[in-house]
Amino acid sequence: MYREGHAGLNAVLYAPILPVVSHVWSLELALVGALVAVGVANIPDLDQPLPRIRHRGPTHTVWFALLVGLVAGIGTDLLVPATPVAFRFGFLVGTGGILAHLAGDVVTPMGISPFAPVWRYHVTLEWFKSKNSRINRALLLVGSSALFSSLLLTVGLSAAVAPAS
């Protein structure tokens, strides 16, 4: 999958989470979560221009997902310090965002080895090629629309239940 496909996939997966987080904790945490979810979508592909790291190698593993989740958790805790669940939430969204990227690559013929080097089992579903522009653009359109609609719904609900001043 290409950049726009990964961003769209992460957006569509986070869209239903945004209003729940806003309702349970805060709109601020929900928005930071959206930034993390979409922001980490293409981090695993930073390996492409690097000469000594094989594409879909170490950056396409669950271990890398946990590392990114740790960094996202720390970042979320720094951005939303008054929220006691900020670190855990950031960790889950960061890790989940990378795992979503891995899922997006599993559906392509190249696939991934998500547990390497511990277990080199290679996973591929071979549904479509990474460069399929229709799939990538459709995911971006659907994901962007879903996340934007979710945000509008969340802000609308927040305004509807806010106490009048």
Which residues, in sequence order, are CB contacts of 9 under 8 Å at separation 6+? 1, 41, 100, 101, 103, 104, 139, 143
Which residues, in sequence order, are CB contacts of 139 under 8 Å at separation 6+? 1, 4, 5, 8, 9, 12
What's the pLDDT at 165? 55
Query: How many domains would you assign to the chain?
Result: 1
Per-residue pLDDT 10s for the chain (165 aa) are 899 999 999 999 999 999 999 999 999 999 999 999 999 999 999 988 878 888 888 999 999 999 999 999 999 999 998 889 999 999 999 999 999 999 999 999 999 999 999 998 999 998 888 889 999 999 999 999 999 999 999 988 766 666 655
Return d(Cα 87, Cα 24) in angstroms, integer: 16
Q: Give the range of the structural domain holding residue 34, as residue numbers without chain letter.
A: 3-161
What's the pLDDT at 159? 67
3-class SS of residue 123: strand
Q: What is the pTM of this model?
A: 0.91
What's the pLDDT at 139? 96
What's the pLDDT at 11? 98
What's the pLDDT at 146? 98
Return d(Cα 134, Cα 77) in angstroms, integer: 37
Rg (CA), the chain: 17
What's the pLDDT at 164? 57
